[in-house]
Amino acid sequence: MNTQMRNILSQIKKLSVSEILQKKDNNGVSYVKYVFQIYYILFGQVCNVCPNKIPTYINQIKNYIMEEDKTNKNSRYKLKKGKVIHVFGTNQYYSEHNITDNIAIKLLSKNPNRISLFAKFPENWRTETKGTETKGTETKGTETKTSKLKEVKK
- 137 strand-pairing partners: none
Q: Tell which of 73, 104, 130 closes a domain.
A: 73
Say how many domains are in the chain: 2
Q: Distance between CA 63 and CA 13 in Å, rounded?
A: 9
Q: What does the pLDDT read at residue 115?
A: 95
Give the domain extent around 15. Answer: 3-73
Residues 83, 124 contacting (CB under 8 angstroms): no
Whether 69 and 80 share a structural domain: no
Whether 104 and 81 share a structural domain: yes
Whether 67 and 98 share a structural domain: no
pTM assigned to the model: 0.48
Q: Could you report the average pLDDT of every consecutive run of 10 residues in the chain (154 residues)?
A: 79 89 91 91 86 92 76 78 88 84 92 93 89 44 39 44
Whether 152 and 88 share a structural domain: yes
* End-to-end Cα separation, the chain, in angstroms: 52
